[in-house]
A and B are shown apart, each in its own frame.
Chain A
Amino acid sequence: MNPFTYSHATAVDDAVRDKASHHDAAYIGGGTNLLDLMKENVERPTHLVGLNRLPLATIKNNPEGGLRLGALATNADTAWHPEVEKRYPLLSQAILAGASPQLRNMATNGGNLMQRTRCYYFYDTTTPCNKREPGSGCSAIGGYNRIHAILGTSQSCIATHPSDMCIALAALEAVVRVSGPNGDRTIDFTDFHRLPGNAPHIDNTLRPGELITGLDLPAKGFEKNYSYLKLRDRTSYAFALVSVAAALDLEGNTIKEARLALGGVAHKPWRDTDVEDALKGQPATADTFRKAATQMLQGARGFGSNDFKVELAKRAIVRALKQATEMKQGPSDVFLNSNP
Chain B
Amino acid sequence: MSQYTNYIGKPTNRVDGPAKVTGAAKYAAEFNVPNLAYGVVVSSPIAKGRIVKVYSKPVLKIAGVLAVFSHENVPNLAWFDRNYKDDVAPGGSPFRPLHEDKIMFNQQPIALVVAETFEVARYAASILEIEYEEEDHETDIELKRAEGFMPGRGKSGWMPPPPPRGKPDKEWKKAAHRIEHEYIHGTQHHNPMELFATTTEYHPDGTITAYDKTQGVYNCQQYISKIFGLSKSEARVVTQYMGGGFGSGLRPQYSLFMSVMAALELKRSVRVSLTRQQMFSFGHRPYTLQYMKLGTNPDGTLAALQHHALHETSRFEEYTENVVNWSGMLYQCDNVKLGYQLAEIDVFTPQDMRAPGAATGSIALEIAMDEMAFEAGLDPVDFRIRNYAETDQNMSKPFSSKRLRDCYHQGASKFGWDRRNPRPRSMREGNMLVGWGMAGGVWDASQKKAAAKASLSGDGKLLVTSATGDIGTGTYTIMTQIAAEYLGLPIEAVTFKLGDTDMPEAPVEGGSWTAASVGTAVKNVCEELGKKLLKQAQKMKGSPLKKATFDEVEFVNGQIRLRLDPNQAVVIRDVLQASGKDKLEAETSATPNLLKQSTHSMHSHNAVFVEVKVDEDLGTIHVTRVVNAVAAGRILNTKTARSQVLGSVVWGISMALMEETVMDHKFGRYMNHNLSEYHIPVNADIHDIQVVFVEEEDEIVNPLGVKGIGEVGLLGVAAAVSNAVFHATGKRVRSLPIYLDKLL
Contacts and interface: CB of A to CB of B under 8 A. Distances in A.
A126 to B, nearest CB: 3
A236 B684 contact: yes
A276 B677 CA distance: 33
A316 B618 CA distance: 7
Interface stretch (B410-418, B522-530, B665-673): B665-673
Interface stretch (B25-33, B146-154, B375-383, B427-435): B427-435
B45 A1 contact: no
Given A234-B685, A312-B740, A319-B617, A1 B671 contact: no
A340 interface: yes
Contacts of B617: 315, 318-319
Interface string B610-633: 000101011110100000000000
B658 interface: yes
A144 B671 contact: yes
A340 B679 contact: no
Contact of A332 (B620, B672, B682): B620
Given A127-B667, A312-B619, A340-B684, 20 more contacts: A2-B123, A118-B676, A127-B664, A142-B666, A144-B662, A144-B664, A231-B618, A231-B740, A233-B658, A233-B739, A233-B740, A234-B680, A234-B682, A234-B685, A311-B744, A331-B613, A335-B613, A335-B620, A336-B615, A338-B684
Nearest to A333: B431
B619 to A, nearest CB: 8
A120 interface: yes
Contacts of B676: 118, 237
Given A126-B667, A312-B744, A331-B429, A233 B123 contact: no
A315 B613 contact: no
7 tightest CB-CB pairs across the interface, nearest first?
Answer: A126-B45, A308-B741, A235-B684, A340-B684, A331-B430, A120-B671, A332-B615
A121 interface: yes
Q: Tell me if A's interface is mostly helix, strand, loop or mixed.
A: loop
A318 B431 CA distance: 13
A1 B118 CA distance: 11
Given A120-B672, A139-B666, A308-B741, A340 B682 contact: yes
A340 B744 contact: no
A1 B122 contact: yes
Interface of A: 1-3, 41, 118, 120-121, 123-124, 126-127, 139, 142-144, 146-147, 231, 233-238, 241, 308, 311-312, 315-316, 318-319, 330-332, 335-336, 338, 340
11 contacts: A118-B677, A126-B45, A126-B46, A127-B669, A139-B666, A233-B679, A234-B658, A234-B680, A318-B617, A331-B429, A332-B430
A40 B634 CA distance: 48
Contacts of A316: 618
A340 B682 CA distance: 10
Interface string B702-744: 0000000000000000000000000000000000000111001
Contacts of B673: 124
A340 B680 CA distance: 16
B3 interface: no
B432 A332 contact: yes
Contacts of A123: 674
A234 B681 contact: yes
Nearest to A238: B679
B431 A1 contact: no
Nearest to A329: B430
A319 B620 CA distance: 13
Interface residues of B, number: 41
A168 to B, nearest CB: 20
B598 interface: no
Given A1-B122, A332-B431, A124 B618 contact: no
B119 interface: yes
A142 B619 CA distance: 26
Contact of A1 (B46, B119, B430): B119
Interface in B653-700: 657-658, 662, 664, 666-667, 669, 671-674, 676-677, 679-685
Nearest to B673: A124
Contacts of A126: 45-46, 667, 669
A252 to B, nearest CB: 24
Contacts of A238: 679
B429 A143 contact: no
Interface in B441-476: none
B126 interface: yes
A126 B281 CA distance: 14
Given A118-B677, A318-B617, A330 B123 contact: no
A338 B740 CA distance: 18
Interface in B101-156: 119, 122-123, 126
B257 to A, nearest CB: 23
Nearest to A127: B667
Contacts of B430: 330-332
Given A2-B123, A338-B684, A330 B677 contact: no
B673 to A, nearest CB: 8
Contacts of B122: 1
A264 to B, nearest CB: 13
A335 B622 contact: yes
Interface in B601-652: 613, 615, 617-620, 622
A318 B126 CA distance: 47
Nearest to A316: B618
A308 B620 CA distance: 13
A330 B45 CA distance: 48
Given A2-B123, A235-B682, A330 B672 contact: no
A10 to B, nearest CB: 27
A244 to B, nearest CB: 11
A235 B685 contact: yes
Interface in B576-617: 613, 615, 617
Given A1-B122, A144-B662, A231 B620 contact: yes
A336 B682 contact: no
A295 to B, nearest CB: 19
Given A118-B677, A120-B672, A121-B671, A340 B740 contact: no
